[in-house]
Structures are given as C-alpha cells and as structure tokens.
Amino acid sequence: MKRAIAISVSLLIGLSAYLAHAQRVTRLSQPADLMVSVWYNGGKARAPMLSPITPNSRDEWRRDLQQIKSLGFNAVRGWVDWSHNEPQEGKYNFDNLRLLCELSREVGLRVVIQVYVGWDGFGFAPDWVHKKYADGFVQAQANNVSTPPSSSFYSDHPGIRDAIL
C-alpha cells in the first residue's frame, strides 16, 4: 500500500512538473480543448463526498485552485452526488458546485462536472429515498453483501428509477 502511494505521488509530481514546463513552452500551440484536470470539489473531501461550506471555504478553495493552476493544470473535475445534491425530495443543493465554478472562473480554470455513478448505477441514495422505497434496497445481512445499504439499491425499482430521473 505504501509503495502504491509513493508511486502515485511520484507520478503526480512528475506530471505536474511536466505540465508546468509544457505550459510555458507550448502555451500558444496547445489545443484549446485539451483539458488536464485534478479531482477537486473544495476542502479535503474526496469523491463522492462533499465538504461542508464554511465561512472560510471561499478563501481556502481559492488558494487551492490557485495552487492547482500554478502546477500547470487548466481544469478541475468536480462531481454531483445524489445524496448531497437532493437532500430532500425535490429540493436541490448545488452550493458546492456554484462556489467551485465561480472560484475556478476567477483563477482561470475550466470545470468538468462528473455525475458520480456507483457500482449500483447512480451512487448514494439520499435518506428520503431509503424511507420512501425501503423495498428497493439490498438487505446487506440477508444477502451477505458487505456494502452499506446506502450504496446498494435496485436501480430497476420503479420508484427509485423515477426518483433518479
């Protein structure tokens, strides 16, 4: 595990150095549609989790994005997670994405938004879906499944399918 982390970090450092050099050397000849991104959706959270927005988020995220830009990246990859972005049925929360897009624009980074898709087809279902469609979830104990119920719903369940859509 430590070896894999060391190799990953080395590759990231090498890629960052190369991109910084390549950006200086070929800035004018680089294709406009070539995006090299890192996953970042604010704070320390990693996909599919999202960091809560605090009074310090704007300054912290801006510093992070400026650092990403200074390393030669021209984009960040943010994500949408159903459980976070629709915490109540029909009520959506895209504050993280709005802030990410606004700050990225300020520092000159492009944004790629990924809809987070888990092994079950759509990622983590919000609590309201569990309550409304309890029969649409794998029973971990009965089926000897090691994943938490939040990530093991039946995407062909009519109610869950409609909620996703």
**pLDDT tens-place string over residues 41-84:** 888 877 667 788 999 999 999 999 999 999 999 999 988 888 88
pLDDT at site 132: 92
Q: Are strands 37-39 and 75-80 parallel, antiparallel or unpaired?
A: parallel
Q: What does the pLDDT look like over 94-122, one tens digit per residue? A: 999 999 999 999 999 999 988 765 544 56
Question: CA 53, 76, 107: angle at the middle one, nearest 5?
Answer: 80
How would residue 88 be classed by pLDDT, with cut points 50, 70 and 90? very high
How would residue 149 be classed by pLDDT, with cut points 50, 70 and 90? very low
Q: What average pLDDT does the structure give for the chain?
A: 77
pLDDT at site 58: 96
pLDDT at site 36: 84
How would residue 21 be classed by pLDDT, with cut points 50, 70 and 90? low
Q: What does the pLDDT look like over 116-133, one tens digit per residue? A: 655 445 667 888 988 898
- Say which residues have a Cβ less than 8 Å from residue 116's Cβ, sequence separation at least 6: 47, 48, 79, 80, 81, 82, 123, 124
pLDDT at site 103: 97
pLDDT at site 66: 97
Residues 68/30, Cβ–Cβ less than 8 Å: no
pLDDT at site 6: 47
Q: What does the pLDDT look like over 28-40, one tens digit per residue? A: 455 667 888 888 8
Q: List, as own/partner pairs, every contact residues 13-20 make where C-beta atoms lie below 8 angstroms and the sequence separation is at least 24, other chains included.
A: 16/71, 16/72, 16/73, 18/72, 19/71, 19/72, 19/73, 20/70, 20/71, 20/72
CA 128 to CA 30: how far, in whole Å? 47
pLDDT at site 35: 82
CA-CA-CA-CA torsion sign (30, 32, 38, 41): positive
pLDDT at site 28: 44
